[in-house]
């Protein structure tokens, strides 16, 4: 698993400031997912993967009640933002979505 500094460096490309407490909380929450090769990245070209992000992260974890179209648009926005990264880190992807909805505080202990 990458350390927090690697994630922080990766996030620096996409956001002006990184909330380190939220990042550490997310890393703890998703440690198992991030430890597995087949689940540590998000595939923007896979519709099922994007549906999983919408259902499991945005709706279940963040508690968002927006319509699927709005949530899918947010996911696509992050996909476009990260288009230069062939391997899109799940932690960075989730951080950017949580930041978009001002819910980084959900991960701070």
Spatial neighbors of 34 by CB under 8 A, at least 6 apart, are: 1, 2, 27, 40, 90, 91
pLDDT in tens, 22-55: 999 999 999 999 999 989 999 999 999 999 999 9
CATH of the domain at 94: 1.10.238.120
pTM above 0.85, yes or no: yes
Is the Cβ–Cβ distance between 91 and 4 less than 8 Å? Answer: no
The answer to whether residue 90 scores a pLDDT higher than 60 is yes
Cα 54 from Cα 48, distance rounded (Å): 10
On average, the pLDDT of the chain sits at 94
Q: How many domains are there within the chain?
A: 1
pLDDT value at 2 more than 80: no
Q: Which domain holds residue 36?
A: 4-107
């Amino acid at each position: 698993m990458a350390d927090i500094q690697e994630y922080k460096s990766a996030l620096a490309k996409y956001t002006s400031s990184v909330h380190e407490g939220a990042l550490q909380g997310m890393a703890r929450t998703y440690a198992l997912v991030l430890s597995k090769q087949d689940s540590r990245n998000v595939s923007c070209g896979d519709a099922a993967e994007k549906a999983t992000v919408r259902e499991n992260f945005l709706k279940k974890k963040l508690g968002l009640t927006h319509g699927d179209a709005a949530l899918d648009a947010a996911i696509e926005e992050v996909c476009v933002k990260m288009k230069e990264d062939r391997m899109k880190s799940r932690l960075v992807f989730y951080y950017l979505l949580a930041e978009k909805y001002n819910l980084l505080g959900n991960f701070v202990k």
